[in-house]
C-alpha cells in the first residue's frame, strides 16, 4: 500500500509540473492505483489515495473530465464482486470492534493506564524497547505508531530530529520553491508512512521514504532552476 501511495503521488507530481504526456497514460495510472488500493484493502490507505486522487480535481485544468474519469474507474473496480465484498467487510469488522485504528489507539490506552515510565529525553532503550514495553502490559504485539516507538526506543530529542529531517526539511524546500502541490503530495506519503510501524522496525521502509523525499526535492530544485533560466 505504501508503494501505491508513492506511485500515484510521484506520477501526479510529474504530470502536474512537467505538463507533458507521460509514457503511461494517466487513466492507466488511476486504474492501477484504485485497483491496487482495493486489493491491498488498507482502510487508511483508501483514505489517503482518495485524498490524493481528489487533488487532481482541485488543481487540474480539466476538473470535470478528471472527476468523471475517476468516478467511472472507481465504479468499474468496485463492481468486481470479490473486491467490493472484501472492502465492505473490512470496514464493517472494524466498525463492529469499536476501534477503526486496528488496535493503535488501544495500545496507547494500555500505556497510559498502566503507569509505564515516560520516554527519556535524550536516550532510549534501543530498537524494540517500545514493543517489549507494550507486551509487558497488554496482549498486543506492537504500538504501530512510529513517533511513539521512536520516543521509547531512541529518546524524545532523536525523535524530533528524525521528523525534522524526514518532513520539515523537504517541506521547507518545497515552500521555498513555491511548489505547494508537492507539499500536499509529500505530506500524504509521509502521513501514510507513519500510519503503521514500518518506519520504526524496517530499515527498508525508511530507505524508500528517503529516496522519495530526495526524488521530489531534486524535482523541485530542478523546476525552480528552469523557471529562473527561462526568459
For 65-118, write each residue's pLDDT tens digit: 777 877 787 777 667 767 666 666 666 665 665 555 555 677 777 777 777 788
The grid cell for 96 is 463492529
pLDDT for res 111: 78
Q: What is the pLDDT of residues 158-208, one digit of tens each?
A: 999 999 999 999 999 999 999 999 999 999 999 999 988 888 887 889 999
pLDDT of amino acid 60: 65
DSSP 41: T
The per-residue pLDDT for 161 is: 96
Output the nine-digit C-alpha cell for 220. 523541485
Residue 5 has pLDDT above 90, yes or no: yes
pLDDT at 56 over 60: yes
Tens digit of each residue's pLDDT (9 = 90 or more) over 21-45: 667 888 899 889 988 988 888 888 8
Set of cell numbers at residue 143 = 504500538
Which string of b and e fits 119-150 if b means at least 16 CB within 10 Å?
A: beeeebbeeebbbebbeeebebebbbbbebbb
Amino acid at each position: 500500500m505504501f508503494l501505491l501511495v508513492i506511485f500515484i503521488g510521484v506520477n501526479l507530481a510529474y504530470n502536474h509540473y512537467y505538463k507533458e504526456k507521460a509514457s503511461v497514460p494517466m487513466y492507466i495510472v488511476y486504474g492501477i492505483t484504485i485497483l491496487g488500493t482495493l486489493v491491498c484493502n488498507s482502510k487508511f490507505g483508501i483514505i489517503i489515495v482518495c485524498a490524493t486522487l481528489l487533488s487532481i480535481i482541485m488543481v487540474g485544468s480539466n476538473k470535470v473530465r478528471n472527476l468523471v474519469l475517476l468516478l467511472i474507474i472507481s465504479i468499474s473496480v468496485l463492481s468486481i464482486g470479490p473486491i467490493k465484498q472484501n472492502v465492505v467487510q473490512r470496514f464493517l469488522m472494524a466498525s463492529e470492534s469499536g476501534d477503526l485504528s486496528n488496535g493503535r489507539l488501544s495500545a496507547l490506552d494500555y500505556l497510559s493506564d498502566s503507569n509505564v515510565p515516560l520516554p527519556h529525553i535524550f536516550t532510549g532503550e534501543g530498537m524494540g524497547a517500545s514493543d517489549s514495553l507494550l507486551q509487558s502490559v497488554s496482549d498486543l504485539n506492537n504500538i504501530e505508531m512510529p513517533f511513539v516507538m521512536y520516543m521509547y526506543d531512541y529518546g524524545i530529542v532523536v525523535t524530533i530530529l528524525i521528523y525534522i529531517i524526514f518532513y520539515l526539511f523537504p517541506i521547507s524546500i518545497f515552500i521555498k520553491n513555491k511548489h505547494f502541490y508537492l507539499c500536499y503530495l509529500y505530506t500524504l506519503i509521509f502521513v501514510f508512512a507513519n500510519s503503521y510501524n514500518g518506519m520504526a522496525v524496517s530499515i527498508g521502509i525508511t530507505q524508500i521514504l528517503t529516496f522519495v523525499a530526495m526524488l521530489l526535492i531534486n524535482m523541485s530544485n530542478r523546476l525552480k532552476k528552469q523557471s529562473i533560466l527561462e526568459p
